[in-house]
Amino acid sequence: MRIVALAGGIGGARFLRGLKEAVAPGDEITVIGNTGDDIHLYGLKVCPDLDTVMYTLGGGINEDQGWGRTDETWSIKAEMKEYGVGPEWFGLGDRDFATHLVRSQMLSAGYSLSQVTEALCVRWRPGVRLIPMSDDRVETHVRITDEAGPRVVHFQEYWVRLHAAVDAEAIIPVGADTAKPAPGVLEAIAAADVILLPPSNPVVSIGTILAVPGIRQAVSDASAPVVGLSPIIGGAPVRGMADKVLAAVGVETSAEAVARHYGSELLDGWLVDDSDAAAVAGVEAAGIRCRAVPLLMSDVPATAGMARAALALAAEVRA
Amino acid sequence: MRIVALAGGIGGARFLRGLKEAVAPGDEITVIGNTGDDIHLYGLKVCPDLDTVMYTLGGGINEDQGWGRTDETWSIKAEMKEYGVGPEWFGLGDRDFATHLVRSQMLSAGYSLSQVTEALCVRWRPGVRLIPMSDDRVETHVRITDEAGPRVVHFQEYWVRLHAAVDAEAIIPVGADTAKPAPGVLEAIAAADVILLPPSNPVVSIGTILAVPGIRQAVSDASAPVVGLSPIIGGAPVRGMADKVLAAVGVETSAEAVARHYGSELLDGWLVDDSDAAAVAGVEAAGIRCRAVPLLMSDVPATAGMARAALALAAEVRA
C-alpha cells in the first residue's frame, strides 16, 4: 500500500511515528513536508518542519521539547549573544546547526532542497520518503498589529518570539503563488492508495502545502481516499496555538469547523476525538465521513492506534 | 609611539601578548594580520590567523593548543562525521564556528574583511588595531609530490592534514599578485615609529603579507626601523614546521639565513636567541644590526622581555 501524508512539524512527525508502527511490512510512506516555516538565519537555510520529521523518525529528536536535537549543546547560541548577533529568540543548538550548514552548503553548490533532503535522510533513515512540498522558496508571514503598529512578521517570529500572543490578521505564504511542487510530489499523490492529513496545523502547515499551485487539485483529483485527523480537541488545539491562525482565516477552533474548512472536495474522511463525538453528525452533514476515536498522541502505541483508525476509515471510504 | 607588527598565527599572537606588556601607556599597536591561511569550509570563511590573534589577545584562546577557543565543544564536528561531510582533519569547534558564521554573514551582506574584523574585535577588545593584510581573497597553496603524484594542495591541507610530512616544492600565495592592501595598512606602515616582524613563519605568514603588492615596498620605504625576531633557534623552528617551507624557497633553517632572506633592504635589526650568538657576526655582515637575547616565549613575562629587546634594538637603530 502506498500512503501519502502531508506533514507539518511536531504533530505531523509524532503522527508519522505512529503510522510507521501501524502499517504492514512493504507499505510505503511518502511524506510531503511543509517548508513554509523555513527561515534564513545566520546566512543558513533552516527547515524546521523537515528537520523535525527527520529527527523524530530518525531517533535524533529532543523528546521533551519535540523539536531540535537530543544531547544538544548550545555553544554557538552563547557566542552569538556575546557577538550581539540575533535573533536571540530562535533556538538553534550546535548539533542542529550542523544540519543547516550541510543543507546550506549543498544548496549553494546547486542541489535542490529535495535533493538535499534526500541526502540528509541517508544519515537519518527515517523509514519514509520525505519530500519537501516545493524546491522553491516559500516563507509564511503573518500580518499583525502591536505596539509597533501594523506590520508583517515572519511566521517564526510570530510563533516563537511573540508566542502568537497578538492576533494574526492574515497568513501570507510568501512565494507560494509561484512555487512549483517538488519533483515527485504530484506523482506520489496520484499514485497513492491512501492520503492522510495528520493532526498538523490546518493553516500554516497543511494549508501551506495545499497553497502550492497544483497540490490541492492533485489531492482532490486523487483516486485514493483522503482522511484527516483533527488537531482540535474540545475546542482547543492539542498543541501549539492553531486557534490564532484559524481565526485569521475565519475558521472557528473546533473539530467540525476544521473539517468544513478543508471541505468535502478535499476530504473523504475525518477523525475527531471521542470527546468531540457530538461533532460527527455535523461533519457527515458536510459530506465527509466521520468517526470519533481517541486522538491524543500520548505515546507511540496510542498514536499507532490513531493511524490504524485513519487507515480503517480510508478502507471504509474506498469500499 | 606607533608600533606596527606583521603577524601570523600562534607565534605572532603570543609575541603580541608580550608586546602589549612591554609598551608604554598611550603607545598604539597596529597588527597587520596574515590571511593567506584562510580557507573556505562548510561554505564559511575561516581566517585562522586573524582569529588566533583575536582570541589570544582577547582572552578566548585555548592556551594548550594555541589555536581555537577555550571551553570549546565539538558537537558540529561529531555531526559532520555522521553526515559524512569533511574535511575531518580540520578542527572547528562549536564556539569557533560562531565566529565564522558571523564573519561569513557579514561578508555576504557586503562588508569587507577589514570591516568584519573590526566588528568582531568590538567583542574581543584585543587591545591592538587588527587589520587583515588585504580584503581580497588570498589563499596559500603548496606544490607537493606524494603517492597521488605531483599536485597542489591548500596550505591548511599541507600543514594540518599532511603535517608537512612531504617536501613543499613551491609555496603559491594564490591571489596575492592582484590583491590590494586593506585600507589602513600602507598608512599604518608609513606612520609607524617601529615596525616589528614577530617570530612568525617567514614564508607562509610574514612572507605572504609581504607578497601583497605594495606592502614590502612600504616597509622598505618606511622611516621607522624594522626589527625582526628569529623564529629559528639552534637550526630548528621553535614551533611548527617552518623548515619545510623554508626549504621550498631555498632558505636554510637557521637564524642567519632567515635574516638574509628578509634582507637588509627590509630589515634594520634582527634578534637571535642566545644559543645562536655565533650567528650575530654573519647577520651584521649582511648589513643588519643583530643582538642575541633569550627568544623562548615560555610565558608572558619572557615574551615581554623579547618585545623590550626588539624595541630597544629599534631605538638603537633610530639613534
pLDDT at B240 over 90: no
Tally of domains in chain B: 2
B189 within 8 A of B6, measured Cβ to Cβ: no
Q: How many residues does chain B have?
A: 319
Instruction: State the count of interchain CB pairs (< 8 A) between A and B.
Output: 81
Q: What is the pLDDT of residue A240?
A: 81
Q: What is the pLDDT of residue B74?
A: 98
Is B152 found in the same domain as B26? no
Backbone angles phi, psi at A125, to 5 degrees: 40, 65
Q: Tell me: the pLDDT tens digits for B18-70?
A: 999 999 999 999 999 999 999 999 999 999 999 999 999 999 999 999 999 99
Is B190 found in the same domain as B110? yes
Is A155 found in the same domain as A81? no
Q: Write out chain A residues lying below 8 Å of B76, CB-based.
A: 94-95, 97-98, 101
Is B115 found in the same domain as B9? yes
Q: What is the pLDDT of residue B257?
A: 98
Here the cell at position B137 is: 581573497
Nearest-5° angle of CA B142, CA B102, CA A143? Answer: 140
B103 within 8 A of B120, measured Cβ to Cβ: yes
Q: What is the pLDDT of residue B112?
A: 98
Q: Do residue B123 and residue A44 have CB atoms under 8 angstroms apart?
A: no
Is A152 found in the same domain as A124? no
Q: Do residue A42 and residue B102 have CB atoms under 8 angstroms apart?
A: yes
Is A168 found in the same domain as A246? no
Nearest neighbour of B94 by CB, restricted to A44, A75, A84: A75
Is A302 found in the same domain as A154? no
- Kindly list the averaged pLDDT for each block of 10 residues, start to end, along chain A of length 319: 96 97 97 97 97 98 95 98 94 97 97 98 98 97 94 95 94 96 98 98 96 98 98 90 92 97 98 98 98 96 98 96
Q: What is the pLDDT of residue A112?
A: 98
Here the cell at position A59 is: 531517533
Inter-helix orientation angle A75-83/B94-108, to 10°? 50
CATH number at residue A300: 3.40.50.10680
* CA separation for the pair A169, B111 (Å, rounded): 37
* CA separation for the pair B30, B8 (Å, rounded): 13
Q: Do residue B42 and residue A105 have CB atoms under 8 angstroms apart?
A: yes
Is A295 found in the same domain as A254? yes
- In a mutational test of the B interface, the residue from A46, A51, A62, A76 whose CB has the highest number of chain B CBs within 10 Å is A76
Q: Do residue A75 and residue B83 have CB atoms under 8 angstroms apart?
A: no
Read off the pLDDT band of B242 (50, 70, 90). Answer: confident
Q: Tell me: the pLDDT tens digits for B144-190?
A: 999 989 999 999 999 999 999 999 999 999 999 999 999 999 999 99
- Residue B291's alpha-carbon distances to B110, B262, B270, B276, in angstroms, are 46, 16, 7, 10
B191 within 8 A of B129, measured Cβ to Cβ: no
Is B279 found in the same domain as B148? no
Q: What is the SS3 assignment for B249-314? A: CCCCCCHHHHHHHHCCCCCCEEEEEHHHHHHHHHHHHCCCEEEEECCCCCCHHHHHHHHHHHHHHH
A33 within 8 A of A131, measured Cβ to Cβ: yes
Is A202 found in the same domain as A102? yes
Here the cell at position A238 is: 492539542
Question: Hey, which residues 115-174 in chain A have their CB within 8 Å of chain B?
Answer: 120, 122-123
Q: Do residue B104 and residue A73 have CB atoms under 8 angstroms apart?
A: no
Is B145 found in the same domain as B131? no
Nearest neighbour of B43 by CB, restricted to A80, A82, A104: A104
Nearest partner of B280 among B255, B258, B310, judged by Cα: B255
Q: Considering Cα of B19, then B21, then B26, then B30, what sign does the dihedral take? A: positive
* Averaged confidence pLDDT in chain A: 96
Q: Tell me: the pLDDT tens digits for B212-234?
A: 999 999 999 999 999 999 999 99
* Averaged confidence pLDDT in chain B: 96
Is B185 found in the same domain as B61? yes
Q: What is the pLDDT of residue B127?
A: 98
* Domain ranges, residue B153: 139-176
Q: Write out chain B residues lying below 8 Å of A85, CB-based.
A: 102, 105
